[in-house]
Amino acid sequence: MPITPTPNIWMNGEMVPWDQAQIHVLSHTLHYGTGVFEGIRAYETADGPAIFRLREHIERLFNSARILNMPMPYSIPEVIQACKDVVADTGLSSCYLRPIAYFGYGEMGLSIEHCKTDVAIAAWPWGAYLGDDAATKGVRMKISSWKRHDHNIMPPASKTTGNYANSTLAKMEALAAGYDEAIMLNSAGLVSECSGENIFAGLGDVVYTPPTSAGALKGITQDTVAALADDLGINIAVGEMTRSDLYIADEIFVVGTAAEVSAVNSVDDRAIPCPGPATKAIAEAYAEVVRGKNPKYRSWNELAS
Ligand code: PPE
């Protein structure tokens, strides 16, 4: 999706004009995939632009760095404040934020022992990630021939830049075959997640989502959906799923910061009722909570200024 530039990108504590926010081609992370990042959205609320679950995203960024053994040169409160400053600086009422920590120029070779961590935060307007019809008409999913990361190959709990080569392979395979998005199984053959979303499938009275042990990222939207579903009286359970469970599901939806709550209309050309009742109710509740319209969760809407 093309990006519309905003005036500045935060780089190591400075607001740098968008076009000048550049790094050297010998940056360590460019060669070895050794960065960590987040995807966060700010929404328009009655009190101004508010960043949704900012603290949880920045805490996950720091956990991703810990898994990679990457020292962070700023504290969690400093990065939180920098994200707010970036949103305020854009002048936008809603946007997508991309904080990234990476090893820059100065050292090469696989060791990160002497590398310095650089941090940047960009924000830009970003529309519906899986298309404007995703919430209503749904998306076509393909089970990928690419397996999800194993815990002892690339830790899936860390949002490491290098992990996303696997996601890109799966996404491109799905798009080339005429689908919208890929569902990935782990090496045991169980459902893990999508190239950039967690997955939920309704089977009888319960809506299941795979555990992190299956190779799924611990999704913040997944956690939000679990809380909203509980309030709506929808039973959510973390549980293992096979591809056949998906083929016979009553409804399926995928969730993520970028994709929000997107309905699924088919998996490998097996039609899935879409949008199902839980999908609809949860998508509506999600659209409200991110915009500060659910008083119970107002603390999740962090005002940008
Ligand atoms: N799994 C993966 C692999 C993933 O990348 C995401 C977010 C999720 C699950 C959902 O996580 P959460 O955002 O905490 O609910 N994907 C981000 C990046 C997408 C991209 O194309 O870049 C996002 O949604 O921002």
Tell whether ligand 1 has an atom less than 6 A from the beta carbon of residue 35.
no
Considering only CA atoms, which residue is closest to atom 10 of ligand 1? 256
The pLDDT assigned to 132 comes to 83
Residue 193 Cα, ligand 1 centroid: separation in angstroms?
10
Query: What atom in ligand 1 is closest to the CA of residue 224?
Result: 15
Tell whether ligand 1 has an atom less than 6 A from the beta carbon of residue 221.
yes
CA distances from 148 to 124, 160, 167, 201, 233 (A): 29, 14, 8, 18, 32
Tell whether ligand 1 has an atom less than 6 A from the beta carbon of residue 198.
yes
The pLDDT assigned to 2 comes to 84
The pLDDT assigned to 36 comes to 98
Query: What atom in ligand 1 is closest to the CA of residue 220?
Result: 14
For tokens 């991309």, name the residue.
98
Residue 258 Cα, ligand 1 centroid: separation in angstroms?
7
Considering only CA atoms, which residue is closest to atom 25 of ligand 1? 39
The pLDDT assigned to 219 comes to 98
CB of 130 closer than 8 Å to CB of 180: yes
Helices (H), 153-235: 164-176, 220-232
Residue 219 Cα, ligand 1 centroid: separation in angstroms?
7
Tell whether ligand 1 has an atom less than 6 A from the beta carbon of residue 257.
yes
State how far the Cα of 66 lies from the Cα of 212, in Å rounded to an integer: 17
Helices (H), 5-102: 28-32, 54-68, 76-90
Tell whether ligand 1 has an atom less than 6 A from the beta carbon of residue 196.
yes
The pLDDT assigned to 134 comes to 84
Positions of the chain with pLDDT lower than 70, given as ranges: none
pTM listed for this prediction: 0.98
Closest CA to 268 of 285, 244, 250, 289: 244
DSSP string, 145-158: SSPPPPTTTS-TTS
